[in-house]
């Protein structure tokens, strides 16, 4: 029998397609990752991430105002600290007058309604480029968690709306929740990097912060595979997300993005908190490089990937394309 149902009837023109479209994007779906640098009037482009800059606090504040006017409502901030402030304890991470704390205060003063989610991990502060404290040749879990609690509380004191632990230490969400509550910050949320894979997609990000593992005069892990997840694993990601929710996470994150959409959907189907997806630096750089060579249509592939991430179950997308996509959507 020739088909009575013809799917093409719903694809005849853009007006019909828009009526039945299952997924939509808006600027409020995006969070913009930002890199903060020391100094004033500093704006340095990251070579491996065209269009993305390390900015001093004064210029960061101006950019945040532009983002808010475009409808973007969240920023995820990272700092590039001076080499002389790095050690194996990460103590600069909870300095009340540190670069991160100054940046949080400045952003919230200039744009109070922008949601600020500072990164919680020790790699920008580590002489070894690892996310925690090195002891006996490995990243020591529990002492690192103690340091992360001090870091998170200092972020809350500066005015952060959420803290965003990206370290992948065991049990850190529970300790962060307890530490924040004890300090009187019950309303400061936790967006946990729950399923953060040991991925090769992070290269340009590590260029931006000089946070790749380094050779040292002591034994240190050569990579981050002892704490970030094996990209061969799926069930482990569900376990990690469930554990973080039980420990008090208000949101969970999957990182990287486009190559891990099966994980996003699995976690979305399992947990009952918002799911964030990080479209990471390598994913951004690949699109930029291919479009510069004329191999891809930049705007079309950008919007397709963002739509696919949202379709997979993301409530929020952390993406370096946030500003460009928001401008396009405004048109």
User: Which CATH number belongs to the domain containing residue 37 in this structure?
Assistant: 3.20.20.70
Domain assignment of residue 231, yes or no: yes
Q: How far is CA 185 from the centre of its chain?
A: 22
Task: Return the structure tokens found at 67.
Answer: 């983002």
Domain assignment of residue 23, yes or no: no
Domain that holds residue 171: 29-330
Which whole-number Å values give the CA distances from 295 to 281, 287, 289, 291, 307, in the listed order?
A: 19, 9, 9, 6, 20
Domain assignment of residue 1, yes or no: no
Tell me how far apart the alpha carbons of residues 234 and 120 are, in angstroms, rounded to a whole number: 24
Domain assignment of residue 9, yes or no: no
Q: Phi-psi bin for 55: left (phi > 0), alpha (psi -120 to 50), beta?
A: beta
List, in sequence order, every beta strand (DSSP E) within 177-250: 189-196
Number of domains in the chain: 1
Q: Residue 22 in contact with residue 63, Cβ under 8 Å? A: no
The model carries a pTM of 0.94
Selection from 290, 260, 278 nearest residue 319 by Cα: 278
Q: Residue 99 in contact with residue 36, Cβ under 8 Å? A: yes
- For the chain, residues with pLDDT lower than 70 are 1, 210-212, 214-217
Mean pLDDT computed over every residue of the chain: 95
End-to-end CA distance of the chain: give it in Å, rounded. Answer: 45
Domain assignment of residue 159, yes or no: yes
Q: Return the DSSP state at 6.
A: -
List residues with catalytic annotation: 196, 255
Task: Return the structure tokens found at 167.
Answer: 């370290």
How many helices (H) and strands (E) would you count in the chain? 11, 12
> How does DSSP assign 19-74, residue by residue?
HH-S----GGGEEEEEEEESSSS-EEE-TTSTT-EEEEHHHHHHHHHHHHHTT--E
Q: Residue 158 in contact with residue 101, Cβ under 8 Å? A: yes
pLDDT score for 210? 67
Pairing of strands 30-37, 74-79: parallel
pLDDT score for 253? 98
Look up tokens 């600027």; give the residue. 27
pLDDT score for 220? 86
Helix, coil or strand: residue 135: strand
pLDDT score for 214? 63
Report the 10 Å Cβ neighbour count for 180.
23
Q: How far is CA 106 from the centre of its chain?
A: 20
Domain assignment of residue 12, yes or no: no
Selection from 60, 70, 227 nearest residue 144 by Cα: 227
pLDDT score for 331? 87
Give the list of residues 6+ apart from residue 146 with CB closer than 8 angstroms, or none: 175
pLDDT score for 212? 63
Can you name the residues that pair with 295 across neighbouring β-strands?
none
Domain assignment of residue 193, yes or no: yes
Helices within 113-226 (DSSP H only): 141-158, 172-182, 203-209
Q: Is 62 a known ligand-binding residue?
A: no
Domain assignment of residue 2, yes or no: no
């Amino acid at each position: 029998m020739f088909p009575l149902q013809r799917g093409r009837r719903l694809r005849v023109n853009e007006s019909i397609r828009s009526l039945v479209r299952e997924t939509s994007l808006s600027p409020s779906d995006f969070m913009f990752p930002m890199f903060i640098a020391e100094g004033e009037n500093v704006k340095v482009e990251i070579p491996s991430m065209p269009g993305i800059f390390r900015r001093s606090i004064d210029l960061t504040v101006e950019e945040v105002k532009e983002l808010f006017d475009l409808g973007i409502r969240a920023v995820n901030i990272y700092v590039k600290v001076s080499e002389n402030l790095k050690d194996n304890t990460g103590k600069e991470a909870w300095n009340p007058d540190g670069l991160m704390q100054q940046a949080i205060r400045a952003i919230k003063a200039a744009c109070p309604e922008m949601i600020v989610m500072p990164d919680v991990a020790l790699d920008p502060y580590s002489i070894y480029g690892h996310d925690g404290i090195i002891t006996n040749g490995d990243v020591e879990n529990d002492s690192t968690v103690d340091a992360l609690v001090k870091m998170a509380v200092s972020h809350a004191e500066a005015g952060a709306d959420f803290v965003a632990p990206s370290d992948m230490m065991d049990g850190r969400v529970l300790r962060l929740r307890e530490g924040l509550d004890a300090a009187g910050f019950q309303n400061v949320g936790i967006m946990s990097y729950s399923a953060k894979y040991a991925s090769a997609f992070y290269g340009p990000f590590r260029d931006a912060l000089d946070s790749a593992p380094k050779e040292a005069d002591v034994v240190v892990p050569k990579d981050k595979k002892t704490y970030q997840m094996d990209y061969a694993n799926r069930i482990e990601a569900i376990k990690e997300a469930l554990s973080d929710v039980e420990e008090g996470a208000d949101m969970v994150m999957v990182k990287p993005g486009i190559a891990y959409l099966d994980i996003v959907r699995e976690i979305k189907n399992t947990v009952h908190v918002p799911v964030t997806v990080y479209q990471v630096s390598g994913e951004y750089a690949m699109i930029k490089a291919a479009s510069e060579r004329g191999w891809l249509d930049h705007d079309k592939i950008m919007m397709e990937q963002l739509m696919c991430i949202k379709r997979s179950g993301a409530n929020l997308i952390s993406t370096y394309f946030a500003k460009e996509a928001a401008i396009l959507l405004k048109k």
